[in-house]
Amino acid sequence: MDGGSSHHARPNPGLSAGKRVPVYSAAQLIEKQQLKWNSVKEKPYPAMYSSYFGGIILDPSMMVLPIDDHMVHRGHGVFDTAVILNGYLYELDTHLDRFLNSASKAKISSPFPKETLKSILIQTTAASKCRRGSLRYWLSAGPGDFLLSSSGCPEPAFYAVVIADNFSQRKEGVKVVTATTPMKPPIFATMKNVNYLPNVLAIIEAEEKGAFASVWVDDNGHIAEGPNVNVAFISNKKELLLPTFDNILTGCTAKRLLALAPKLVEKGLLKGVETRNITVDEAKNSAEMMYVGSTLPLLPIIEWDGKPVGNGKVGELTLALSDLLWDDMIAGPERIFVPYEDDDALQQSKL
Amino acid sequence: MDGGSSHHARPNPGLSAGKRVPVYSAAQLIEKQQLKWNSVKEKPYPAMYSSYFGGIILDPSMMVLPIDDHMVHRGHGVFDTAVILNGYLYELDTHLDRFLNSASKAKISSPFPKETLKSILIQTTAASKCRRGSLRYWLSAGPGDFLLSSSGCPEPAFYAVVIADNFSQRKEGVKVVTATTPMKPPIFATMKNVNYLPNVLAIIEAEEKGAFASVWVDDNGHIAEGPNVNVAFISNKKELLLPTFDNILTGCTAKRLLALAPKLVEKGLLKGVETRNITVDEAKNSAEMMYVGSTLPLLPIIEWDGKPVGNGKVGELTLALSDLLWDDMIAGPERIFVPYEDDDALQQSKL
């Protein structure tokens, strides 16, 4: 039985039609990659860290991870981010806490304690020389044996990339649509894992409709979130309203907004600040609407499903809240100094 | 506003506590990797293909993909598989059709037409010299800019890996449990994409309970599927029953089982073959139960949620069906000859 015979097997038209696929050595691949990147004026990413390699990589040709990493082929990885602004990392601790919480829910352990992760992220940012952009990092179940269970993945992996981005405060309004792509079940929506295909299809759907992004509404008819940002509203009574975080990701910037917004209540600009269930009807009758996310930090929304939000113009309270967040990013207490080498030299020269 | 001042920023305990992270050049990393793999007796995977590299890689140190690939950080990729048995690829066309269908649903285009994908897969298998194992392949939206939308990913990517595995027909029974991890919405369950975190957590849940794997039951109380296999039952009336494929992945091996099983009806061993909704009660009262998947091809299930299935022994009809599938894998018409180099030389010497 176990010998097999060829006479029943199909002919192989693909092979005769196709051309010969070359086999490359590692040295040839590195040379090919370096030739390619040397011809590119600006490198795509100034630095990567990989626990698999045990160090920082500045050469884009090795900003890679193993194909058998459980994050690659099974989506068994979590991620988080932090903004780099004027040479400081903003809210890194808050993001790292959420990151480790996501990892725990996804049954991924960390190869390092939090303080070491933090040190690696700061050193990677310093090595990148990047002073404005974002830092993205992942914990993965690690390389293994391609099986579904991660029991064959001996070591979890930690990766980080610095992404240069000359972002600034967003003051122009955008259009949004309600998503028809289904939302993830709450357990998966509340942990920041790389299973973002629903989010990707939701933003592609919006782009196809000429919108910037989409808004998910849950099965109960309550506002949920955008594809990778939170949403917030200013009611007609001048309250700042955000959906509760029960079934959606707890946005770090959204939390910070909730912490800072009472300053506008003190000034008499806002009447209140609240997180609660928000129906579509209530949301569509808001005075102002905005996306909330770390690199925005607030993005005014002026049109939703083809109809103006409020008076159809960028909201004044949205901009006031945006200023509060931006000031906090620029000069607030949640920033960590990045010891770039130039700074090191500068500091040492002062000793 | 945009200058930033450091006097409010937090001190940086992580860095002073942590040790210095090394910065590696590409050459150093390749050397490190090759040293590591040279010390390993058996290479983990005999061959990989990457459209990003434009060729086949036999050196495990470069079996990698870019960290900015949309499949890695957003799960924007689909995959499929095919068994390699006795130097033949089994049901490659069926799997490739499903693969391209998954890609279309995930809004991923292919860098090559189907016949070229097929030729590349056959050549990669030939280059691997592997005669028993499996071939896994992925279509990804490709490397890009780390944004959520794939509009910044200029070229989709095609990757494939040959995984050596001395698998054989499974004749021992296993235990299963009903999954408590939520199922994916139908649109995502019916396309084979890499967002497998629910599947991973479902199998980890089963392993933690001492079971081999789990079974999903949908919101209507109907049997759905296993974490990466289909399930099938033999009723007390000796019918082969499979759940309909409306909300679950259309298994290629399950489809082949449905095509071959009427042979056992002709022989009078089975009374019928049907796909329909199956309630948990009906399923738990089955005479036999099995998993269906390409490398099994059938795996008898003898215990479910702590209670015996049927008489608690491996089912005779399960084994008869397993033989049907195994014979088809060994000598059936759905096999494609792989032109390994030795075979090429052998054939040329015969001319």
Distance of CA A177 to the CA centre of its chain: 21
User: How confident is the model over A164-179, as pLDDT tens digits?
Assistant: 999 999 999 999 999 9
Distance of CA B188 to the CA centre of its chain: 15
**Burial, A93: exposed, middle or buried (Cβ in 10 Å; 0-12, 13-18, 19+)?**
middle
CA atoms of B272 and B8, how far apart (whole Å)? 76
User: How confident is the model over A175-205, as pLDDT tens digits?
Assistant: 999 999 999 999 999 999 999 999 999 999 9
Q: What percent of chain A has pLDDT over 70?
A: 92
pLDDT of B41 > 90? The answer is no
B151 touches chain A (CB under 8 A): yes
- Give me the residue label for tokens 């040293």: B35
- Give me the residue label for tokens 């002709």: B266
B95 touches chain A (CB under 8 A): no
In terms of Cα–Cα distance, which of A324, A330, A315, A320 is closest to A257?
A324
CB B60 within 8 A of CB A52: no
The more confidently predicted of residues B101 and A347 is: B101
Contact B187 A193 (CB under 8 A): no
User: How confident is the model over A66-91, as pLDDT tens digits?
Assistant: 999 999 999 999 999 999 999 999 99
Contact B200 A32 (CB under 8 A): no
3-state secondary structure (DSSP) of residue A314: coil
Whole-structure pTM value: 0.93
Q: What average pLDDT does this structure show over B202-211? A: 98
In terms of Cα–Cα distance, which of A217, A194, A206, A203 is closest to A136?
A194
- pLDDT, mean over chain A: 93
The confidence score (pLDDT) of residue A44 equals 87
Task: Find which of B50, B56, B72 to mutate to test the A interface (most A CBs within 10 Å of its CB).
Answer: B72
Dig out the tokens for B268 from the structure. Answer: 């009078």
Task: Find which of B43, B48, B64, B340 to mutate to test the A interface (most A CBs within 10 Å of its CB).
Answer: B64
